[in-house]
Each structure stands twice: as C-alpha cells, then as structure tokens.
Chain A
C-alpha cells in the first residue's frame, strides 16, 4: 500500500472516528453521567436529521437565495428541537426510572419503536435525501491522488468543536459544575441548593441535543429513513460501553480505536464480517475489562 492509499485510509479512519465521537458524546453524557440507557438515542439522531431535511426544504422554497446557509441553520435547529424533545422525555418518562437501568432500556426501546413509526407515517416511509450545500460539495485535493471529501472534513471540524464545547461547558461553567455535582453526589448537591430536577432534565436534554447535531451532520453522508436510528444505535452503544461509561475522554479514545479498527477491518474483509468482527472484539474486551477500557478503579458509591 503506498502513501496515498495510506493517507486515504487514515483519513477514512479519522472520519469514522469523528462520526462515532459525535454520536457517542450525547450518549456518553446520558449514559455516563446519568446512568440512563436511552435506546431511542438513534431516533433522536434521526430527528436531528429530519429537522435538517425540513430546513433544507424550507430554504429551497422560501429563501432560495440564502440556501447556502441552510445547513448551519439546520444544525442549530436540530440541536434545539432534540434538546426540547429530550427535556420533555426526561420529565415525562425517564425520571421515573432512574434507579432501574434495565427497565429504562425496555421503556426507551418501546419509545424508539413508536418514534420510528411516527417517522414512517408522518414524514415518509422512504428515505429522504438532503442536498449538500454548494460550499461543502466536492473534495479537497490534498495531493494528486489523495482526495478528501469536504463534507467529511466539515464533520471532523464539527466533532472537534462540539467536543471542545462540551468539555468547556462541563468543566468551565457554573452549569457544568452543577451537572457534575448532581451526577456525583445528588443528595449533597440538593442540600447545597441546586435544583437537581432541573439539572437532570437539562443534562438529559443536552445529551439528546448532541444526538441531534450528530444526526443533522450525517445528512451529508447518507439519506435518512425511519430505521436510520437503529442503524446507528448499536455502534454508538459499543463505543460508549467500550470506552468505559464514566469517562468522556474514554469515550473519545474508544471512538478513535473503534473508528480505526472499523476502517481497517472493512479494508480487509467484507462489510458484514467487519461489523461482526468489531462486535465480537468488544465482547472480548468487556470480558477483560468489565467496566470498559478506560474506567477508573474507584467505584462510585
């Protein structure tokens, strides 16, 4: 394999890594910080994607001259739509199931079935395509043989920005401090005057909002249909669980490793075997490190 091919491979790996990171960040917040397993996380990504789709429709119909910026608007809108939905979801369902992670899995699975059917019935049973904005079409010719799609570069940048923003938010703002306080020691946080219920709703909604951003950006890579969420959810879970649920950094590292492995597996074997291979690998790793690769030794009380 020559240098050009290697560069392309590495880029693909990098691209997959950032995609997984974007998907997993939201779940890591919800699962890692709150211990909630939201099986409908994939549908939230789809929701973000559909929001972007509608944004593109709206712009092309009513604001055709501004079509170039629809995408950025779409991402922002996707965040807010899924954030709001997440807030409602937490208040309406999730908060009753906090001490019961297995039950949460089942209930949110049911929700995902409902959402899928809602998409199928009220949007379209068929997949919808979104037109990429002109300034993201095509590729960057890094060298004669190496051509890197602009859309993927955008996603890489978006993932970095989002991850940095999340980190900054959690570790550098008052709200982030509240969130960390509540997730680490609820009773004390409440005693210190923090409105734990509001923080819970916010944290969960934030995780959902991130899913929305992820879904929205993927419209550039693939079409969106009612079952798109399901296709993403297994990968997302694998990344989060593999990395060790309590560590955001672990999630990112895990996304990197899995991204690379996926790119290389797919290079050397068929698509389906690659997926099976990754899943198998994760099972084996979980055996050796039951709490994920990067889990800390000290268990939370």
Chain B
C-alpha cells in the first residue's frame, strides 16, 4: 500500500489521543444511551445483530488495515464462535426437563437429551465432540481459545513460508468455502443448511423475554467496546508500529530484527478472537447458528463493513457495520431487488474513491488535526 491511500492515522501523536478517546466515548454514548432509549426491543435486537458483526469488522481493521492481510474468511471464526455457543444452548435446551417440542420429540425417539435435529437425522448417540459443550466453562474457553489458536497456527505456518497477500486471501476464501460445505454436508451433526436453532434458555435465563434481549444487547455492546479498546491498545503499542512497517515493507522489517510471521499471525489471531466473540453473541441474540454466515459471501461482506467505516479505524468499523447492516435491513424490507446493486456499488465506490472509508472522510474534514506538515 502506498502513502496515497494510507494516511497517518497509524499511531497516536499527542493531539490525536484526545480525539480517539472522544470518539470512543461518543460511540459508548450512542450504544449505551441513545440506542436503548430511542429503539423498541425489535430494533434494538437488530442493532445487536449488526453489532455482533461489527466484531468481525473491527478484527478486519486490525488484520487488513494495519496488517495488510485481506482475510476473506472471517466467517470461519465467526462461525466457530457461533456454533460453539449454539451447541451449548442446544444441549441445555435438550436436557431441560420441561418439554419443548424438541425434547419431546427426542424423548419420543428414545434419546432424551439429544438435540432435535439429530433425532430427525437418525443420529442416535451424541457425538463425543459435542459432549464437552454441556459445560458453560468449556464453551467459553472454546470460544476464546479455539478460533484464535487455529488462526495463529494457520497464519504462522503460512506467513513463515512467505505465502503472499493474494494467495493467503485465496486460502482464507477456500477455508470459508470448506467450512460451509462441511457444515451443510454433515447435517446430522451440525444441523446442516438450517443451522442450529430453537434454544430456550441460557444458564437458566429464558432467552425469549424482552428483559433477556435488553441484557444481551448491553453485554454485546460492552464486549464490543472492550474489543475496540483492546484493538486500540495493540495499535498504539509497538506492535502497531511494527504492523504498519510490515504492511509498508515486510522484507525490510526482517532487517530491523523482527519476525513478521509472528506479528502477522498474532494479529490474525486477535481478529479471529473478535470474530468468535461476535459469533457467540450473535447466536445468543438471534437464536441461530447458520452456515449462511460462514461461507464466502458473508465473509467478504464483513470486509465491506470495515471498508465503509474505514479500514484504519476501529470505531469506524463499528459505524460501518451499523450503517451497512441498517441499509441491508431497510432495502430487504422495501426494495429487495435493489440491495445487491447497492452493496455491489458500495464495494466499487469505497475501493475506488474512499479507500479510508467514512473515518477517512471525517479525518479530512477535521483538517490537519492529525496531519504532519511537510517541510
């Protein structure tokens, strides 16, 4: 990437810290005060859905904007987080004594405690890899450790071998495709194309009530802001500068004594962590884990959230996800045929004319606050 498309928002000069903190507080205000006060539960639920996708967008800012790695497979990690949570919720629902239709069916088929879709698919015994998801602690650990670990290993192994930008993107594409194929193909174990749904409670708390939706929303918003803060911390640290250097001239960085593979793998893992958390929160709120959020199409769409918001801005990514998400809902409700044109055009326009997204626009309007003057 050249200087013309990546301006100086890479590290925190003295003045910008104030702006950064300010925007963060503004976002917090928006999410914690404005939204809940101005939206009904249904709209708030929609916002929560977009926010869970914003986790991925934030990760993409780190990995693409700063790391120079275009990951077209964040759906994989989102999906892992989503499905892990779904497995836990499903087992909780299946194990419940009070009969929901699902457990009644399972009981009828003679396999109580088994998720309904398994019973429908003549799977008689819970697969061993489902077992640990009976426990919430395992589930949480799986979500927080599994996807980042996979990402780190995959990333390191490839970056060590200097698998280049384009090729790695294609690898991430292939992975997204593989995961979607596997999930859909193994219907008995994963719910197939319909996904896993029909949850009732989370740790005893009924998921269907308004109160639960409110609580979930706030937890999601809080976790998102936490991730944004963590991302900002990383970027302001030396790691952030090294990433910018790697993005600028990876080969040269080796001669400054750094192993680029390690740094790239690290940031790829962080992005995976964010996406996984987003996936888990998505499942909790929307009540569904589905392969339609795992494959190539949704993964590439996540990139556009980051691109619209500004690939160099974590906070921009959140706004990007909200805006694009809202637009998608709006158009699906009113002009459903128009949506593909809009999002297609968005890809083209943002890439050609707005490489730094809305955040870049805002920066330019602020006029030189962050800019370093030439001689």
Report which A residues bind B (CB closer than 8 A): 37, 93, 96-97, 99-103, 105-107, 109-114, 116-117, 120-121, 234, 237-238, 241, 270, 272-273, 275-276, 279-280, 282-283, 286-288, 290-291
With contacts A117-B341, A279-B174 taken as known, whether A102 is within 8 angstroms of B70 at the C-beta atoms is: yes
Q: Does B150 contact A (CB under 8 A)?
A: no
Give which listed residue, A107, A116, A241, A280, contacts B348 with CB less than 8 A.
A107
Knowing A93-B348, A102-B165, A107-B352, the reply to whether A270 touches B185 (Cβ < 8 A) is yes
Interface residue ranges of B137-169 to A (CB < 8 Å): 157-158, 161-167, 169
Is B344's beta carbon under 8 Å from chain A? Answer: yes
Given contacts A105-B72, A110-B345, A110-B347, 6 further A-B contacts (CB under 8 A): A96-B352, A106-B304, A110-B343, A279-B174, A280-B178, A288-B161
Compute how far the CA of A214 lies from the CA of B27 in the bound complex, rounded to whole angstroms: 50
Q: Interface residue count for B (Cβ, 8 Å)?
A: 45
Query: How far is it, in angstroms, between the C-alpha of A273 and the C-alpha of B181 when the chains are bound?
Result: 8
* Distance, CA A286 to CA B172, complexed state (A): 12
User: CB distance A290 to B164 under 8 Å?
Assistant: yes
- A-side contacts of B362, CB under 8 Å: none
Given A103-B355, A107-B351, A286-B163, answer yes or no on A279-B344 (Cβ-Cβ < 8 Å). no
Evaluate contact between B347 and A113: CB separation under 8 angstroms. Answer: yes
Q: Does B300 contact A (CB under 8 A)?
A: yes
Among B307-357, those with CB < 8 Å from A are 307, 337, 340-341, 343-348, 350-352, 355
The one of B166, B174, B181, B350 that contacts A238, using a Cβ cutoff of 8 Å: B174
B284 within 8 A of A: no
B163-196 interface bits toward A, Cβ cutoff 8 Å, 1 = contact, 0 = none: 1111101110111011001101100000000000
Which residues in B have their C-beta under 8 angstroms from that of A102?
64, 70, 165-166, 169
B181 pairs with A272, CB closer than 8 A: yes
Does B344 contact A110, Cβ atoms closer than 8 Å? yes
Say whether, besides A109-B300, A241-B167, A279 and B178 are in contact (CB < 8 Å): yes
Question: What is the CB-to-nearest-CB distance from B320 to chain A, in angstroms, rounded to a whole number?
Answer: 14
Please tell me if the beta carbons of B166 and A111 are within 8 angstroms of each other in the complex.
no
Name B303's closest neighbour in chain A (CB-CB). Answer: A106
Known: A286-B167, A287-B158. A106 touches B174 (CB 8 A): no
Q: With a CB–CB cut-off of 8 A, which chain A residues contact B163?
A: 286-287, 290
Q: Report the Cα distance A279→B182, complex, angstroms.
A: 12
Majority DSSP secondary structure for residues of B touching A:
helix
Residues of A within 8 A of B347 (CB): 106-107, 109-111, 113
Determine the distance from Cα of A106 to Cα of B123 in the docked complex, in whole angstroms. 41
Answer whether residue B296 sits at the interface, using C-beta atoms and an 8 A cutoff.
yes
Which residues from A are CB-within-8-Å of B1? 100
Task: Report the Cα distance A184→B5, complex, angstroms.
Answer: 26
**Given A102-B70, A241-B170, A283-B171, A111–B348 Cβ distance below 8 Å?**
yes
| In contact, A113 and B296 (Cβ under 8 angstroms) | no
Answer whether A290 and B161 are a contact pair too, CB < 8 Å, given A102-B169, A112-B344, A117-B340: yes
Asked if residues B340 and A116 are in contact (CB atoms below 8 Å), the reply is: yes
Instruction: Let me know if B346 and A282 touch, CB within 8 A.
Output: no
Closest 10 CB pairs of A and B: A110-B347, A114-B344, A117-B340, A113-B344, A272-B185, A110-B344, A290-B163, A102-B70, A107-B351, A279-B174
What is the distance, in angstroms, from A121's C-beta to the closest C-beta of chain B? Answer: 6
**Smallest Cβ-Cβ distance to B158: which chain A residue:** A287
- Closest A residue to B355 by beta carbon equals A103
Report Cα–Cα, A177/B125, bound state, in Å.
65
CB under 8 Å from chain A, chain B span 213-263:
none
Contact across chains for B344 and A111 when beta carbons are under 8 A apart: yes
Minimum CB–CB distance for A90 against chain B, Å:
14
Shortest C-beta distance, B280 to chain A (Å), equals: 25
Q: Are B157 and A287 in contact (CB under 8 A)?
A: yes
